[in-house]
Every structure is written in structure tokens, then in C-alpha cells.
Amino acid sequence: MAKRRILLKLSGEALMGSQGESLDPPFLRALAAEIREVWGLGVQVGVVIGGGNIFRGAYGASLGMERSSADQMGMLATVINSLGVQAALEGCGVPTRVLSAIPMSPIAEPFVQRDAVRHLEEGRVVIFAAGTGNPYFTTDTAASLRAAEIHADLLLKATKVDGVYDSDPKKNPDAKRFTSLTYDEVLRLGLGVMDLTAITLCRDNRIPLCVFSILERGCLTAILSGEPRGTTIGFGGVERS
């Protein structure tokens, strides 16, 4: 494995079941097995999870809620998801810690950068909950921030499609997938891979990013083994498949 320490970003929607459940047990077990496989190879794994399967701050704001309060509800949703993923991981024998940006000591440790790195070095999967702890920031930005703070070698963004396309592949059957991009190209082309703050954090801290499909079993291990999967974003150039 070329990458020693990674940060995996999961959307909350990825955790949903086909019947609309907020958390899908079969998917959680499959996800835990994927993470366990790379963890078992000695890769240090951090995880950031969104909360969109439960509540989105932007949705609350659209209903007339005060945005800060709505975003705080969204942050709490990520804590629920983090505890669900922790249970799945520990159920298959992977030691795990949840570190929350919002203090809630009975259920999670407070986020401290040095503690996070220590847990990773001691072989635990670290799940970063509650986003950045601040309203108006997405969990994509939280993932980029945590990746920088733990000095991750790679940020992996798990989606429901197999990379970044020049248009929506669900609407356009002729959409072309990029195999590689630079961060500046993502910003210039307005591809919407992550929000502006998240992309800029990755670029400025020279953290390579890979966008891949979490629905493709074994993809995580394949990427870390050097196989060409998804779309890599860094400091190379545009390539389409």
C-alpha cells in the first residue's frame, strides 16, 4: 500500500437503505468490511461522515429556521451516523474512536489534533463527527480540514458514481468521466466535486483527492493498491475516459 494514512469522506445519503431507512444495516456491514480490509493492511484510516440522511442545515434554513441552529442540527446528525459506523466497525473487530468537534463526552471524545494522530498511530480507525463544529461549513470542508490536520496522504471521497463527469451521467448518457484533474481545473470548470473551501484547502495543503464509487465493492482497496479507479485530483492534468 503506497498510502499510509487516509481520510475517507462518506455522504450521509450513502448510509441509507433502499426502503428509506436513515441507516441501512447491510450497507454498514459492507462498509465496515471494506474499511477493515485496508486497515488490516496497515493503512491508518480516518473517516468523516455527512448527515444528509437525517437532516441538512440548508434544508432547515429553507424552512425558515435560523441557519446556525439548522446547521447545528445537521452536525448532530453526523454524530448519529458516526456512532452507527463505529458500531459496525467494532462489530467486525476494528478498534475505533469517535472524536467530536462539539463536546459530548458521554458518547465521544472531544476532537484534539494530537489525540487524533495518536489514535491513528496506535491502530484505531478515527471517525470525526460534528463537522468543523461551526455553522456554514460543509462536511466536505470538514473532511479537507481533518485531512490536513492529521497529515493524510490521500483524501478519498466516496460517492454513488464512479468518478467525476463533465455532465450528469444520470441525465446525459454521453457524459465523459475524467480520470484525472488538477484542483485548479476543478475550480475553473465548476465541476462541483466539493465546495470551494474544501477544494482550496486540499490544493493549498497539497492533499491528493480521489473520487470513487462506494457501491463498487473492493474499490477502496484497489485504489490504495495503485489500480486506476475513479477520478484522481491533484497537480497533473485533464484526462477523460
Residue 11 marked ligand-binding: yes
Domains of the chain, earliest start first: 5-162+205-210+218-227 (3.40.1160.10)
The reply to whether 9 sits in an annotated binding site is yes
Is 135 annotated among the ligand-binding residues?
A: yes
Q: Please state the pTM of the whole predicted model.
A: 0.93
128 annotated among ligand-binding-site residues: no
* Residue (of 181, 175, 139) closest to 190 by Cα position: 181
Asked if 179 contacts 239 with a C-beta cutoff of 8 angstroms, the reply is yes
Q: 74 vs 12, 37, 57, 115, 129, CA distance in Å?
A: 10, 30, 5, 25, 11
**221 annotated to bind ligand:** no
Q: Residue 190, annotated ligand binder? A: no
Q: Is 115 annotated as a binding residue?
A: no
Is 165 part of any known ligand binding site?
yes
Residues 6+ apart with CB under 8 A from 73: 55, 57, 60
Residue 55, marked binder: no
Q: DSSP 3-state assignment of 70?
A: helix
132 is in an annotated binding site: yes
Q: What is the pLDDT along the chain (241 residues), one digit of tens a residue?
A: 556 999 999 999 989 866 678 999 999 999 999 999 999 999 999 999 999 999 999 889 999 999 999 999 999 999 999 999 999 999 999 999 999 999 999 999 999 999 999 999 999 999 999 999 999 999 999 999 999 999 999 999 998 889 999 888 888 988 999 999 999 999 998 898 899 999 999 999 999 999 999 988 899 999 998 888 999 999 865 555 5
